[in-house]
């Protein structure tokens, strides 16, 4: 960030008097431009024993499989965002059952909120950002072609919980270290 979006003056990067973190501060209108994590909302669309996945038609992770998810828009709730992303990426209608998983990704300043959902019907098809939409049995999940650690971890939890007959909410952090991603469940 270089210029103020309100008055176009140049910004300085320093710790404000009553603060303990570096912020972008406008030298002219004195507004402090706070930056905070972004929320990604997504769904786990379930039909009987199968899970719906989308094959990505965009970078990053082109050609890899993902659960429908994306950044929340302004004025939207997390639930609405999950439903909208599922509609946009898979043209699929869902009924949301529960908030199932929350992941913090401090290395990219994102928080993921994944909702366990029921597919309303089998009327789905690839959206603009998707090459293919398909229902998978547990045994057919393409584990080596899953786009993101968050998606892999959500699916892992889902099948573990289903096999144990004990669905419950999961909260954890994904930590990037030496180019690798580690998952740490923080609330058990
Ligand atoms: Zn300004």
Q: How far is the CA of 14 from the centre of ligand 1 (A)?
A: 15
Q: What are phi and psi of 159, to 5 degrees?
A: -70, -35
* Ligand 1 centroid to residue 15 C-alpha, Å: 17
Superfamily name and number for 38-187: Nucleoside Triphosphate Pyrophosphohydrolase (3.90.79.10)
**pTM greater than the 0.95 cutoff:** no
How is the chain split into domains, by residue range?
1-35, 38-187
Residues with CB under 5 A from ligand 1 (ion): 4, 6-7, 9, 26, 28-29
Structure tokens at 154: 């959500």
How far is Cα 7 from Cα 26, in angstroms, rounded to an integer?
A: 8
Q: 20: CA distance to ligand 1 center in Å? A: 21
Beta sheet of 11-14, edge-to-edge order: 11-14, 23-26, 32-33
Centre of ligand 1 to C-alpha 33, Å, is 9
Tell me what pLDDT residue 188 has. Answer: 65
Residue ranges of the chain with per-residue pLDDT less than 50: none
Taking CA atoms, 9 is separated from 16, 19, 26, 29, 131, in Å, by 17, 22, 7, 8, 44
Written as six digits, the tokens of 89 are 């990426």
Contact, 33 vs 119, CB < 8 A? no
How far is residue 115's CA from residue 99's CA, in Å, rounded to a whole number? Answer: 4
Q: Looking at the domain covering 1-35, what would its CATH class be? A: mainly beta
The predicted structure's pLDDT at residue 96: 98
Note the pLDDT of residue 20: 96
If you measure from the C-alpha of residue 11 to the centroid of ligand 1, how many angstroms do you get, rounded to a whole number?
8
pLDDT at 45: 98
- Quick check: helix, strand or coil at residue 109? coil
The pLDDT, as a whole number, for residue 152 is 96
pLDDT value for 166: 95
Identify the CA nearest to 183 among candidates 154, 141, 158.
154
Token pair of 175 as six digits: 């930590």
Give residue 68's Cα distance to chain centre. Answer: 9
pLDDT of res. 187:
77
How many degrees, rounded to 5, is the angle at CA 186 between CA 184 and CA 187?
140
CA–CA dist 31, 9 (Å, integer) = 11
């Amino acid at each position: 960030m270089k210029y103020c979006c309100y008055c176009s003056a140049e910004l300085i990067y320093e710790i404000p008097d009553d603060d303990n973190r570096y912020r972008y501060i406008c030298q002219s209108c004195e507004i402090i431009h706070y930056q905070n994590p972004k929320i990604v909302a997504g769904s786990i669309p379930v039909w009987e024993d199968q899970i719906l996945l989308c094959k990505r038609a965009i970078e990053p992770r082109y050609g890899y499989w993902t659960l429908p998810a994306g950044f929340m828009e302004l004025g939207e709730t997390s639930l609405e965002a999950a439903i909208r992303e599922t509609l946009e990426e898979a043209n699929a209608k869902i009924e949301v059952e529960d908030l199932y998983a929350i992941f913090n990704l401090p290395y990219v300043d994102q928080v993921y909120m994944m909702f366990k959902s029921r597919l309303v019907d089998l009327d789905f098809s690839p959206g603009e950002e998707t090459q293919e939409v398909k229902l998978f049995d547990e045994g057919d999940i393409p584990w080596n072609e899953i786009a993101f650690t968050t998606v892999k971890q959500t699916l892992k939890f889902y099948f573990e919980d289903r096999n144990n007959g004990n669905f419950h909410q999961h909260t954890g952090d994904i930590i990037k270290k030496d180019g690798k991603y580690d998952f740490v469940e923080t609330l058990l």
